[in-house]
Amino acid sequence: MSYQEYDQEYQHKTMNKAYKEKWLKALIFGDYKQGKRALRTDNKYCCLGVICNVINPNGWVRGKNFDSHNQYAFISNKFRSASVLPENVSIRIGLSSAAMDKLTDMNDKGKDFKEIATWIDKNL
């Protein structure tokens, strides 16, 4: 199933509860510094980078051809991304592109992790 097919079929369903719980705990209680415009830069993460790190803390590779040399890409199977969740991760955790867009917007416009966690808890 492609991500577009997944997104159309599951856009109104909730995300995987086990991943949601782990993500909320990491956002609220984890020791993550918040960053913007990338999943991860050095020791800063956007909210989507936090779920990547929860899934696999060893899944990061430092980028050489990214916008910044301190930017990392998350690799999951054959999928690799530095700015959005890899497609297979989105499908695994049950996160639609609309939800990813909303979360990216919240993160990059300055909402802190606790505010983002509250939105996730209420809406996903």
Tokens of 86: 């890899």
For the residues 54-59, what does the mean pLDDT come to? 96
Per-residue pLDDT reduced to its tens digit, 45-55: 999 999 999 99
Cα–Cα separations (whole angstroms), residue 80 to 77, 83, 91, 111? 8, 10, 14, 26
Cα–Cα separations (whole angstroms), residue 112 to 35, 56, 79? 10, 23, 28
Which pTM does this prediction carry?
Answer: 0.86
pLDDT class of 97 with cuts at 50, 70, 90: confident
Instruction: Flag whether pLDDT at 65 surpasses 80.
Output: no
Domain count, the chain: 1
C-alpha to C-alpha distance for 10 and 28, rounded to whole angstroms: 26
> What pLDDT sits at residue 93?
94
**Cα 72–Cα 76–Cα 79 angle in degrees, nearest 5:** 85
Residue 101 lies in domain = 3-123
CB contact at 8 A, 100 and 85: yes
Q: Which residue has the higher pLDDT, 97 or 29?
A: 29
> What pLDDT sits at residue 22?
98
